[in-house]
Structure 1
Amino acid sequence: MTPFKIGVVAAAAAAAMVVVELLGHDWFIIRLGGFRLPLWILVAIYAGLQLWIWRLTTRRLVLTEDEVARWGDKLEQATPKILGLYEQHTPVKEIAELVEQSHGIPPYVTLRYIIALAQHAKARGADTSEAP
């Protein structure tokens, strides 16, 4: 599961715990001596951290113009191999390692390129679905 999905599930669980607490039940209360800690607070913090990690990750996984300028020709040559391995459901980490061995492209560039290809394919799919 991705951090985004985990964050959404944890946020939903925290919301459910809040509702249960508002209904007067103390099922999700942790007692530490004389201190009572609602579990939903910890779950909400966890959800927030997961969503923050997801946001940071998605920001940093964009292929930069410098990387395109430097690796564009090799990425173009490697595209058929990348797509073939992706269609065979090969893990992307393994695809990146194989492309590094065959074309000399660093794995982080290949991973960013795969993400860019997926975003492009998704955008093309959305464009064709809007056609009359």
Structure 2
Amino acid sequence: MSDKEIMAARERALKCAYFALDKKALNVKILQIEKISSIADYLVFASGRSDKQVQAIADSVKMGLKPIDRPIDMEGFDEGRWVVIDYGDIIVHVFQEEVRAIYNLDELWQRAPRVEVPEEYLWEKE
């Protein structure tokens, strides 16, 4: 049995949020979409203030999850405006704040239930 099978998608999504927040990501959300879409079970959204921070957040998620999961694909890293990391059952979106506002995926997925990010992960209190 692989490590991926041992750790459920929800736990890995929470780890993605943790690794994003470790690089001071803003407005981190985990959405459970398995009942409303077939593209994945969870979406993780995070924002950064610059291309370098977006790249650092995406790299932190990828490297942090490396012992337990490998991405199927990763797009947008070189530009650092919107990075998508696809783990199959989890899709991580790391945006620059203004790009996130333009595409507004938060509103698109607003009916999806949110998974609460543990308070101890948060670096700034909302």
Interval containing the TM-score (normalised by the shorter chain): under 0.3
Higher relative contact order (CA 8 A, sep 6+): 2
Q: TM-score, normalised by structure 1?
A: 0.23
> Higher helix share goes to which structure?
1
> Higher strand share goes to which structure?
2
Q: TM-score, normalised by structure 2?
A: 0.23
